[in-house]
Amino acid sequence: MIFRPAYWLGPALTLLALLLQIRWVQGDADFESVRIHPEYKYMGGRGGDPKDKYWRRFIFPIMPLTSLTSRRRINVSVSQSMFDNSVFNESQSFHPHYDGRFIDHTLPYEEQKTNLTLLMQSYLWTMADLGAETWIIHGTLLGWWWNRKILPWDSDIDVQMTNTTVHFLASYYNMTIHNFKKRNYLLEVNPKYTDDSYEDYLNVIDARWIDTETGLFIDITAVRPRPGKKSVLCSKDQHEELTQDLFPLRDSIFEGQNVKIPYDYAKLLTSEYGAASLTRTRYSGHEFNSTSMEWEQRKSVTPLAMQFMQFDTRDPCSNSQAAFRARGGKICRQGRRPHG
């Protein structure tokens, strides 16, 4: 008797071989699955290039995120018709430091403080896990100076990294979700981070770390050598630092996490905010308690007044332009620009 294999056996074995070659990715994605397209700089994170500014003020309805898992690529693309082509992707109606894709209101004072702490902790922990060197700067560094915490009236958190590090994050981790203490955080890189022009004031922020539950975010700016100026590093918001003022970075603690800070932090802070910023114990409706080492909200300040103070002390285009000038800045679009 001659053995004759079933006619379907050959195709079945071929199919099995193909299936064995497929790598199913669960949980952490491998490098190839998150590697960006070779033409990355021409692509946007929302299905097409933004016309002017990558992060724009969002016009509701809010787009919910579903099925989020630890460090997985997601798609939060929305219709271009939902955006104003000339402005940021912050919330249009209630606060410039919230991402309106994820929330439609500001948080109460204490809740915002708690969530900003988690936001900072998650960022520092994740960047250390990814091997991405970063350091705190601007008002966030000033908070470190006082008590190793975020200034409670400042929802504008700022960090820096080198342009090389931003490129690494863009290549392998753009639009990925990272889980920290049962909360999901989105790393989003501006496709225009490769444009080192200082004229594009609409895209001075190179990346953001966003809390997908509260809409709070951290601004990430890249530093690069300033053409024509020796030993000067500059971000696209035209803040300049001398190389020796930034490096070597110092190790410290911020919001309970390991953090890197600039080498000559006092010089940077006094240059940006004035010498009084390191000693003045009353500011923006708060008073520093040297016993508890905390900034305490003055009882006479109402929550509504506190909200206006946050705008006035941080936004150079608001009514407190004099305050902004007093700390060495200029009105937006006139010379050196604000970092937020």
Q: In the prediction, which pLDDT does 317 show?
A: 32
- Domain count of the fold of the chain: 1
Q: In the prediction, which pLDDT does 300 show?
A: 72
Nearest to 154 by CA among 141, 167, 166, 165: 141
Q: Establish if 185 belongs to a structural domain.
A: yes
Confirm if 40 and 182 have CB atoms less than 8 A apart. Answer: no
Exposure b/e, 307-331, CB count within 10 A at least 16 = b: eebbeebbbbebebbeebeeeebee
Q: Establish if 28 belongs to a structural domain.
A: no
- Alpha-carbon gap, residue 112 to 109, rounded angstroms: 5
Q: In the prediction, which pLDDT does 238 show?
A: 85
Q: In the prediction, which pLDDT does 8 show?
A: 62
Determine the longest span between alpha carbons in the chain, in angstroms: 101
Q: Establish if 286 belongs to a structural domain.
A: yes
In the predicted structure, residue 181 carries a pLDDT above the cut 60? yes
Note the residue count of the chain: 340
Q: Establish if 176 belongs to a structural domain.
A: yes
Q: Look at 75-79, 185-189, 246-250, 276-280 and tell me which has the smallest mean pLDDT.
A: 75-79
- Alpha-carbon gap, residue 137 to 122, rounded angstroms: 17
Q: In the prediction, which pLDDT does 199 show?
A: 80
Range of the domain at 270: 34-326
Q: In the prediction, which pLDDT does 5 show?
A: 55
CB-based contacts of 265: which residues, under 8 Å, 6+ apart? 141, 144, 145, 250
CB-based contacts of 82: which residues, under 8 Å, 6+ apart? 58, 59
Q: Look at 4-18, 38-52, 72-86, 211-225 and tell me which has the smallest mean pLDDT.
A: 38-52
Q: What is the pLDDT of residues 202-214, one digit of tens each?
A: 889 999 999 999 9
Report the percentage of the chain scoring pLDDT > 90: 53
User: Radius of gyration over alpha carbons of the chain, in Å?
Assistant: 23
Confirm if 220 and 159 have CB atoms less than 8 A apart. Answer: yes
Confirm if 210 and 188 have CB atoms less than 8 A apart. Answer: yes
Instruction: Provide the token pair at 66.
Output: 């579903």
In the predicted structure, residue 290 carries a pLDDT above the cut 90? yes
Q: What is the pLDDT of residues 89-134, one digit of tens each?
A: 554 456 789 998 999 899 999 999 999 999 999 999 999 999 999 9
Nearest to 249 by CA among 269, 265, 234, 237: 265
Nearest to 254 by CA among 106, 134, 112, 165: 134
CB-based contacts of 156: which residues, under 8 Å, 6+ apart? 97, 138, 139, 219, 314, 339, 340
In the predicted structure, residue 246 carries a pLDDT above the cut 70? yes
Average pLDDT over residues 269-287: 96
Q: Establish if 331 belongs to a structural domain.
A: no
Confidence of residue 307 (pLDDT cuts 50, 70, 90): low
Q: In the prediction, which pLDDT does 232 show?
A: 95
Q: What is the pLDDT of residues 51-68, one digit of tens each?
A: 456 755 433 333 344 434
Q: Establish if 15 belongs to a structural domain.
A: no
- Alpha-carbon gap, residue 67 to 195, rounded angstroms: 33
In the predicted structure, residue 160 carries a pLDDT above the cut 60? yes
Q: Establish if 337 belongs to a structural domain.
A: no
Q: Establish if 11 belongs to a structural domain.
A: no
Report the percentage of the chain scoring pLDDT > 70: 61
Q: In the prediction, which pLDDT does 314 show?
A: 40
Q: In the prediction, which pLDDT does 202 show?
A: 83
Q: In the prediction, which pLDDT does 197 show?
A: 83
DSSP H stretches of helix in 28-183: 31-34, 109-130, 138-147, 163-172
Q: Look at 26-35, 73-82, 199-208 and tell me which has the smallest mean pLDDT.
A: 26-35
Q: In the prediction, which pLDDT does 9 show?
A: 66
**Mean pLDDT of all residues in the chain?**
75
